[in-house]
Amino acid sequence: MTSIIRVRALLPTISRLKFSSRSGTASQCEWSGEGYGSVTVSEDDQVRCFHVRFHEEGHFALAGQSREVAFRNVYRWELEEDRLRLFHERRGREAAVWLFDLIEAEDGSGLVAAAPHLCGEDRYTARLAVNSDGFALDWRIQGPRKDESIAYRYFIR
């Protein structure tokens, strides 16, 4: 079974997330911290492809800070024949921002970004791996002011 098929089966069952962000030595953002929250999934079977939306909400705390900040996100996962596309709908469905297409890794270890997403001078890449209780999505963001790693963990119900 390919990773895309396995992830497709998992997407509707996700209910929780946690993530950690780490700023590297070249970062000017100082965005290291931990977050956690819930995921409400909505499915949308389109004629062209299958859509799943993750409505995420939770709390995030910067490293060394006790005060948490609330967050909300909507991510749209679109299944194509040979890829899983990820969009951020922070400005709504009609203004969704494409992040990257995930394709099967050559070594069979999961999914990898087919090409980096460029946002200004910043470069976003990702790797997704299925595990026993959900999946991991690891992001890497590099640019003139950014050197960030974000490790998302999505958990089944």
Q: Which residues of the chain have pLDDT under 50?
A: 1
Q: Which domain holds residue 14?
A: 3-156
pLDDT of res. 1: 45
**Which residue, among 111, 137, 103, 139, has the nearest Cα to 123 in the 3D structure?**
139
- 59-83 pLDDT, tens digit per residue, is 999 999 989 999 999 999 999 889 9
Number of structural domains in the chain: 1
- List of E strands, 114-146: 117-119, 122-131, 134-142
pLDDT of res. 90: 85
Q: Where are the alpha helices (DSSP H) in 3-99?
A: 3-10
Q: Output the domain CATH number for residue 97.
A: 2.40.128
pTM higher than the cut 0.85: yes
Structure tokens at 5: 């098929």
